A and B are shown apart, each in its own frame.
Chain A
Amino acid sequence: MPRLHVDRLRSGDGSEDEYRVVERTGLAAWDATTALTVVGRPYPRVEGAEKVTGRACYAGDVRLAGLLHARVLRSPLPHARIRRIDTAAAEALPGVHAVLGTHSAPAIRWYPDGLLFDRTLRFVGDEVAAVAAESEETAADALRLVAVEYEPLPFVVGLEAALRPEAPPVREGGNLVGPPKVYARGDAEAALREAPVVIDETYTTQTALHNCLEPHGCTATWDGERLTLWDSTQSVFDVRERVAETLGLPEHRVRVIKHHMGGGFGSKQIAWKHAVIAALLARRAGRPVRLMLDREAENLAAGNRNATRQRVRLGATRDGTLTAISARIEQDTGAYLVGGEGSNTSAIYQTLYRCPNVTTEQVGVYTNTGPAVAFRAPGHVEGAFALESAMDELARALDMDPLALRLRNYAEADQRRGRPYTTPDGLRLCYERAAAEFGWRRDRRPSGQGSRRRGIGMAAHDWGGSGYPPGYAWVKLNGDGSAEVVTGTQDIGTGTRTGLTQIAAEELGLPLERVLLHLGDTATGVYAPVSAGSATQATIGPAVRAAAAEARRQLLEAAATMLEAAPADLQLREGTIRVAGAPDRALDVADVTRRIAPHMIQGHGARGPNPDGKAVRTFGAQCVEVEVDVDTGEVSVLRVVASHECGRIVNPTLVDSQVLGAVTQGVGFALMEERVVDAGGVVLNANLEEYKVPTAPDVPAVVHARVDRPDPEANATGAKGIGEPPLVPTAPAIANAVFDAVGVRIRHTPLSRRRLLAALAAHRPEPA
């Protein structure tokens, strides 16, 4: 059983004491020498058949008797105050059962400084009113009958405009989200003054939209004072807490369910307004309500990756040793604080390279556009584009191989906290595997014919992905020898269900099909944190293993009695328990569980602590080859080799899928995707026709050069996260390859054809 230790950490300054809670499981980690039979195998997704046959039930698929459909009226103006709102005509429309707006909704606090339905609107898409009706179409018709008188207010769109002294304020107090976050070690300014080689460039990244296949939304139903929400969320427990608090309900009267999910990418890691709006509409109508955002609303009001502007300065000696890194970062937080302000663009500057003098300064900027929220490796994707482009520029300035430059400045420890990595050679392995698989050669020259030029580029990254406590799981053995695992975590589409089932099956010595995992339900599951930060497998995997180990111990003790042997002499594999050295003395697991039934073997597991004094990180490197058409500006990514150190690979197919999906998103970020807002604050491409995400023919050949090496110091399974990391280096690797191909540097994502042609025209006079 896990042991709960609660330590009081005296604050010493009179403020409230803090407590440190540690649950030690006493499990020896699976390391490289442990022979595993279920973990490490490429099982297809356990829920795959359900998904491909359309039976998997998503938040919007729940069909309840009397279900109503809700739609939300959204602000047409980027900044306005509602003078008057009249919903009488909407309420009178046959089929309409409930209407909410500023005038009629309870004054529920939302954002740090607003209400659920606020009179002040700060972006096109901000919530004005909501209707629940017999059909979605009736609800849409009703919204057209809501009369709103808006008082337009001055507004500002875009980072640069919002930073001007005369910029209209998005809210009182100006457009800066607090003072800059500053980090410093050493003296970067002094080192830059003395550096023989300095790179000083400014890079920008665009606002990108998540475009999860499944939009945000939920189905809400009340049973007396009990609320059930099927919500498309990355965190059922966080949604429960927020909804309960907001509606004044005790947490045990709110049940949040998320069985299957069509992607979140960070945009679903918080509780959004729709959950509370649906609950209020359902209570008012006395009927269940389904509120799913359509694609336009999804792209206006459900988060985005913040645009950034980053001034990067690197100082180096002539042999390529970094002496200074300095970054000044501004990022477009949008109109409200919903998490995007936490995107840490500074982090990668502080850790990726060994450097004694580092300064980062990061400031968030309010604009009258939809709020930014975490998006797959938030901050790192943006920071890596600038830093890894700048490193390539430095390599060119030094006439050095970009790979050699990176190896010269290799970091073996987390320099922020002065802790060695548990895998100090992790990134080196990635460089080696990626370079070998790709055929990276310093002397390779750009190639191509006529107007089509080919080039190669690379980029690296680090990231978290360690997982962390707390997180819990239970294991139950049924009378027939099958096992059920219960946890409150979510499978947001990554394959968590499958990976965790493999962990349980391995520890229980059962074939995979004899184990079933339940997740995504606050009523039946035990606490698990938000599925974010590439942490789920590394957070809940060890908890599942601990629970399974506890069940296994009891199972073997019971079997030992029946087999008249010592538990330590028993072997458990493939559902059979054998006495070591006596192959004829054996029992199926079911023989044991049946004999003790209805008594039940249960195991409880908790996530143990991360190692003291060390930093658990993930690493990676990617090499890409591109072809640039110098006449049309088209860039084609021909191939990508990706190598990522994420500890033990629990399921190679699932990990390959994460790499492929992330690289695809990276290609989109580098070349296609950009939210476009016009001068009036209107998003021009809030749909999948105009907002371009890569489709299957746009995806390059992606080779995943696996680094499958357990990190036993990280946790008891040796596995770390892979969900976000492979997105981080793709865009800078592409930009670096474009430079290699045609000799022009594009410092802005997406690398548009217009920019590329303009740079080419400036770079090379037209042939006469």
Chain B
Amino acid sequence: MKPPPFDYEAPTSVEEALALLGRHGEQAKVLAGGQSLMPMLSFRLVRPRIVVDVNDIPALAGIREVDGTLAIGAMTRQRAVEQSALVRRRCPLLADAMPQIGHFQIRNRGTIGGSLAHADPAAELPAVVAALGGRLVVRGPGGERQLAPEEFFVSYLTTTLEPGELLVEVRLPVAPPSTGTAFVEVSRRHGDFALVGVAASVTLDEAGACVGAAVALTGVGPTPVVAAEAAAVLVGGRPDARALEEAGRRAAAAVRPDSDLHASAEYRTHVAGVLTRRALARAVERAQGGGEAVTP
């Protein structure tokens, strides 16, 4: 079916967009890449009075490095991030995650900000931002605020974005030297949402000891789960097989997934452990290779 009737505006500046969102409040929906909103409109699951299309705002797209962080505009296409040499070099975990998002046709349209603001509990990007402790830059009538992932993601498809606010940018810390990363997931089918996905990052010192590690999981709860205890196992020692096994066990212990049509809670818990071990092992391997992430 076709969506129910709605008004349509395509502002060309953030200020203009904010004015429209401020005026219409909860009656407005922001259209970014349209990969989730358009089907929801067509199924008539959402019936906004107005759609504010932010595709014509050039200032919202782009990738730059500022003060040790990578700043990615909310309207940057996922495919652009995937193909960015800067992202591959400075934030390899993000680069690892990109090919796992849907199919390339989806990534051609889908945007970084759209996916984060949609907050699908099985999406890859929230887990990446959570693992790296990135910041979500939000602008609204009250000016700009920067939110940590745990302040942004609230529940299934729910964030702390207020009506009238717009996610404009995501900032991710640049990876230190000798960092290896990996994003692994299991899904029902190629290109499907993850049943479980794991984002992992490991930094080694010159002697090969782990000086930093991060793990976050997707698909195992309403919001991305940061498995700090799993990561902590590795820090301060050599990341050997025993440590990796233990990290997997702790990740499995840290999640409380639900059962659904596609996988039981038991299966997700089990696979969370397996994938955490695998993701960390691959990250370690890459860190040992000098931090250069290699496409699997």
Contacts and interface: CB of A to CB of B under 8 A. Distances in A.
A632 B191 contact: no
B271 A632 contact: yes
Chain A: interface size category: 20 to 34
Interface in B68-85: none
Contact of B261 (A136, A137, A294, A690): A690
Interface residues of B, number: 19
B189 A754 contact: no
Nearest to B248: A631
A149 interface: no
B274 A632 contact: yes
A690 B262 CA distance: 8
Contact of A140 (B1, B186, B264): B1
Nearest to B277: A631
A695 B189 contact: yes
Contacts of B263: 753-754
B8 interface: no
Interface string A687-703: 00010101101100000
A137 B42 CA distance: 11
Given A632-B274, A757-B270, A672 B189 contact: yes
A200 interface: no
A685 B267 contact: no
Nearest to A631: B274
Interface in A681-732: 684-685, 690, 692, 694-695, 697-698
A10 to B, nearest CB: 59
B191 A634 contact: no
A695 B187 CA distance: 13
Contacts of A698: 189-190
A632 B189 CA distance: 13
Given A136-B1, A690-B261, A695 B186 contact: no
Contacts of B186: 632, 634
Contact of A137 (B2, B189, B275): B2
A398 interface: no
A676 interface: yes
A753 B262 CA distance: 10
A692 B189 contact: yes
A695 B267 contact: no
Interface string B174-218: 000000000000101111100000000000000000000000000
Contacts of B264: 754
B267 A753 contact: yes
Interface string A724-760: 0000000000000000000000000000011001000
A559 to B, nearest CB: 56
A757 B270 CA distance: 10
Interface in B250-289: 261-264, 266-267, 270-271, 274-275
B157 to A, nearest CB: 15
Contacts of A634: 186
A679 to B, nearest CB: 13
- Residue of A672, A692, A694 ringed by the most chain B CB atoms within 10 A: A692
Given A136-B1, A137-B2, A694 B189 contact: yes
A692 B191 CA distance: 12
B185 to A, nearest CB: 10
Interface in A125-177: 136-137, 140
Nearest to A630: B274
A685 B1 CA distance: 19
Contacts of B189: 672, 692, 694-695, 697-698
B2 A695 contact: no
A684 B267 contact: no
Contact of B188 (A137, A631, A692): A692
A176 B4 CA distance: 46
A692 B267 CA distance: 18
Contacts of B266: 754
Contacts of B274: 631-632
A697 B191 contact: yes
Interface in B18-51: none
A311 B42 CA distance: 46
Contacts of A697: 189-191
Contact of A695 (B4, B190, B261): B190
A275 B282 CA distance: 58
A294 to B, nearest CB: 8
Given A137-B2, A676-B261, A754-B267, A695 B191 contact: yes
Nearest to A451: B274
B270 A137 contact: no
Given A137-B2, A632-B186, A757-B267, A685 B191 contact: no
Interface in A614-640: 631-634
A556 to B, nearest CB: 55
A633 B261 CA distance: 17
A521 B190 CA distance: 41
Contacts of A753: 263, 267
Contact of A672 (B1, B188, B261): B188
A377 B15 CA distance: 62
A697 B186 CA distance: 15
A659 to B, nearest CB: 22
Nearest to B43: A687
A137 B186 CA distance: 38
A153 to B, nearest CB: 26
Contacts of A754: 263-264, 266-267
A698 B186 CA distance: 14
Contacts of A685: 261
Contacts of A294: 1
Contacts of A136: 1
A690 B261 CA distance: 8
A684 B263 CA distance: 14
A753 B267 CA distance: 8
Contacts of A684: 261
Contacts of A757: 267, 270
Contacts of A632: 186, 271, 274-275
A140 to B, nearest CB: 6
A193 to B, nearest CB: 42
A517 B70 CA distance: 63
Nearest to A696: B190
Contacts of B270: 757
Contacts of B267: 633, 753-754, 757
B261 to A, nearest CB: 5
Contacts of A137: 1-2, 4
A672 B188 CA distance: 8
B116 to A, nearest CB: 21
- Residue of B189, B263, B274 ringed by the most chain A CB atoms within 10 A: B189
B100 to A, nearest CB: 12
A684 B192 CA distance: 17
A606 B172 CA distance: 74
B200 to A, nearest CB: 16
Nearest to B196: A632
A297 B267 CA distance: 31
B257 to A, nearest CB: 13
A173 B4 CA distance: 47
A763 to B, nearest CB: 16
B123 to A, nearest CB: 15
Contacts of B1: 136-137, 140, 294
A132 to B, nearest CB: 16
19 contacts: A136-B1, A294-B1, A631-B271, A633-B267, A672-B189, A676-B261, A684-B261, A685-B261, A690-B261, A692-B192, A694-B189, A695-B189, A695-B190, A695-B191, A697-B190, A698-B189, A753-B267, A754-B266, A754-B267
Give the top 5 A-B pairs by smallest Cβ distance, nearest first. Answer: A697-B190, A631-B274, A632-B186, A684-B261, A692-B188
Given A633-B267, A676-B261, 19 more contacts: A136-B1, A137-B2, A294-B1, A632-B275, A634-B186, A672-B189, A684-B261, A685-B261, A690-B261, A692-B188, A692-B192, A694-B189, A695-B189, A695-B191, A697-B191, A753-B263, A753-B267, A757-B267, A757-B270
